[in-house]
Amino acid sequence: MELVNVTPEQIAILDAACRVSTKENAEHYVRRVSTACERDIDWARKAICYWAGFFNHKVRLRVERTYGAVHPIFGSATRGPMDPTQAFLLGMRTADKSFPWPSRPAPAEEP
């Protein structure tokens, strides 16, 4: 999930999308997020669920149910509330995989 350099307008749309409770309104916000972020619909659903990860467990459950998607890093909220330490570690593991670490030279072979 790539959600970097987010503009204030995009943040406002994502926040509003997390407050939606009907599937009809959800489709409207999926299209708005897709357009505002210049991404496809599937990405927009995941982005909304990602954003819901900054809210409480109750909001995550509602957002996942309303949008038909789950948090791309935490997985489904139906497994229970996310512990802050666990959330931090999952985020670090994800960042570590996607961070462009410099390649390390192979160790020299012994003669």
Distances (CA, A) of 61 to 52, 74, 98: 9, 12, 27
Is residue 74 a contact partner of residue 53, using CB atoms and an 8 Å limit? yes
Distances (CA, A) of 99 to 16, 25, 47, 93: 30, 36, 19, 10
Is residue 73 a contact partner of residue 46, using CB atoms and an 8 Å limit? no
pLDDT tens column, 38-72? 889 998 999 999 999 999 999 999 999 999 999 98
pLDDT tens column, 91-100? 888 877 766 6
